Chains A and B, each alone.
Chain A
Amino acid sequence: MSVDIATVKRVAHLARIAITEEEAASFQNELNTILGFVEQLGELDVSEVEPMTSVVEQTMKMRADVVTDGFYSAKVVANAPASDDEFFVVPKVVE
């Protein structure tokens, strides 16, 4: 499988990365090289194989459903590029 320019642009939009026409062309090349490389996985018959979900044999740990952390909203927004009264500030999203 190989990707065309329109697909590269669609994927970049899905990934929320703005790209120029020039970048789209160069990513198209590189993505096709990588996709060409991974194509060899098609040589294997995996119809009877279970996909891996965890490399270690351990059941998922569960903890009690209680509040163990929090109550420091000032710390949470301390690194925000824009905040106001312990809220994140973003451009208007609802009309």
Chain B
Amino acid sequence: MTRASDLTSLTIAEIRDGLAARAFSATELTKAYLAAMEAARALNAYIVETPEKALAMAAASDESIARGEQRPLEGVPIGVKDLFATEGVHTQAASHVLDGFKPPYESTVTANLWQDGAVMLGKLNMDEFAMGSSNETSYYGPVVNPWKREGSNLELVPGGSSGGSAAAVAAHICAGATATDTGGSIRQPAAFTGTVGIKPTYGRCSRWGTVAFASSLDQAGPIARTVRDAAILLKSMASVDEKDTTSVDLPVGDYEGAVGRSVKGLRIGIPKEYRIDGMPAEIEALWQQGIDWLKDAGAEIVDITLPHTKYALPAYYIVAPAEASSNLARYDGVRYGLRVPGDDIVSLYENTRAAGFGAEVKRRILIGTYVLSAGYYDAYYVRAQKVRTLIKRDFDLAFEAGVDAILTPATPSAAFGLKEMALASPVEMYLNDVFTVTVNMAGLPGIAVPAGLGAGGLPLGLQLIGRPFGEETLFSLSEVIEQAAGRFEPARWW
């Protein structure tokens, strides 16, 4: 039998090969992960572990393999962000307001994974309702990044909102994870942890059964250890779903087939507006390195302009809170979750929501309620939606001019310390998403791929932005970066 730590080091592609060759069983693999999870509780990546369910699913996978039927994700141990409804299992979006909620149904994305043979290890920590960039807004406490600065014991954030997903993948306590991205919540934590994360085109993964934050921006996607693993996971997560009217009627692509495909002749746009003031030299250097790698692989580099880039973040902070204030109106203390009594129905609502939501969620609900309120709707919300049209048009024009994908840094910095931003204004925290938020505003696919280590030996990521439904191109290009940069793993301290 292979050693447990070796089993948790395998990529999903290697698990697939190992199970097919009967080198180990799905049960052995799952047991190795359950032991690793127990040993890594200091990271606080899991909110709930589901060992019994995992072992039952692994046993079913072993039976399936014994019958000679190996489905695409057979026996692959997966962590699930707490935003996805999982039947009979804790689903609270890391919020107190959903206290005790166990959905009687399964989200489409997770149902797709189980259908393809994957094994559920548990529910992963996240920022409350996916609102945050450091995983510090979770009701269940912050997640600790498995990475530390060289020679420092300071605990770092894993990024957010999918901080639990990214930390768990980087720490080898799941083989891959589901995540969601409304303004950068897959790509920023992937960049902070040296993992690969892709937010597909809006409409590619069904939103059914995913707790809603900002419905016109929310998209599910995977976080994985390699580009190929991300491709394998996305293939299973994506689908055409009649339960989600924004699910797009296009066949799911051959993502894994795109990994390793030549990028020769592809035109890569470099947007000058992403060269922001005060950008650290290491980020500049990383970006240039990425340009050189793609050029060496035969891609053509062209300078482009996306003139409305600087307006994406302010427009986002109108659109996303507006949609959130509407979506989160359902948490009323009546139908599910927490209930704090009051003298009448209104005070029951007010008390429940006061006790149930954390500070960042309240802040966004209040902003959203304000910008949608009578007299301000046109000045804020309609104007922001018009700006969104301009942002999308910038990208449309670049693609019409023949650009196949756009290369940018994934984040303006490496991971920062826990509580380091505690005294910062909300806007300073929002600036973490400055490179990623444009992609959600335009509904495009974007992937973050590790590209090197910066000061203190912390991972840094590059972002590739694709045409609508251009995920295959992104997988081909990011494979070039992964091959050139290598893979990065944290030194184990937990």
Contacts and interface: CB of A to CB of B under 8 A. Distances in A.
Interface of A: 1, 3, 7-8, 11-19, 27, 30-31, 33-35, 37-42, 44, 46, 49-56, 58, 60-61, 63, 72, 75, 78-82, 88, 90-93
Contacts of A54: 216, 246
Interface of B: 100-104, 201-203, 216, 242, 245-246, 248-249, 308, 310-311, 313-315, 317-318, 325, 329, 332-339, 341-351, 353-354, 357, 362-363, 365-367, 369-370, 373, 376, 379-380, 382-390, 392, 425-427, 430, 441-443, 468
A81 B430 CA distance: 35
12 contacts: A16-B329, A16-B353, A34-B367, A38-B314, A51-B386, A56-B203, A58-B248, A79-B337, A82-B339, A88-B335, A90-B345, A91-B341
Nearest to B217: A55
Contact of B246 (A7, A13, A56): A56
A31 B390 contact: no
A2 B373 CA distance: 14
Nearest to A38: B314
B366 A38 contact: no
Contacts of B367: 31, 34-35
Given A12-B366, A55-B202, A79-B336, 15 more contacts: A11-B366, A15-B325, A18-B350, A31-B370, A37-B314, A37-B317, A38-B315, A41-B383, A41-B387, A44-B308, A46-B383, A54-B246, A55-B441, A91-B341, A93-B344
Contacts of A7: 370
B229 to A, nearest CB: 27
A54 B348 CA distance: 36
A65 B442 CA distance: 32
Contacts of A93: 344-345
A87 B376 CA distance: 38
Contacts of A80: 334-336
Contacts of A38: 314-315, 317-318, 380, 384
A-B pairs, 3 with minimum CB distance:
A55-B443, A51-B385, A81-B339
Contact of B317 (A11, A34, A90): A34
Given A30-B426, A58-B203, A91-B348, A17 B386 contact: no
B202 to A, nearest CB: 5
A35 B325 CA distance: 16
A14 B6 CA distance: 55
A42 B354 CA distance: 33
A71 B412 CA distance: 51
A34 B321 CA distance: 11
A53 B384 CA distance: 11
A42 B366 CA distance: 21
B369 A18 contact: no
A75 to B, nearest CB: 4
A81 B351 CA distance: 14
Given A52-B388, A56-B248, A75-B104, A17 B382 contact: no
Given A16-B349, A18-B353, A40-B311, A79 B100 contact: yes
B382 to A, nearest CB: 5
A50 B313 CA distance: 19
B311 A17 contact: no
Contacts of A14: 369, 373
Contacts of B315: 38, 41
A18 B347 contact: yes
Nearest to B102: A79
A56 B202 contact: yes
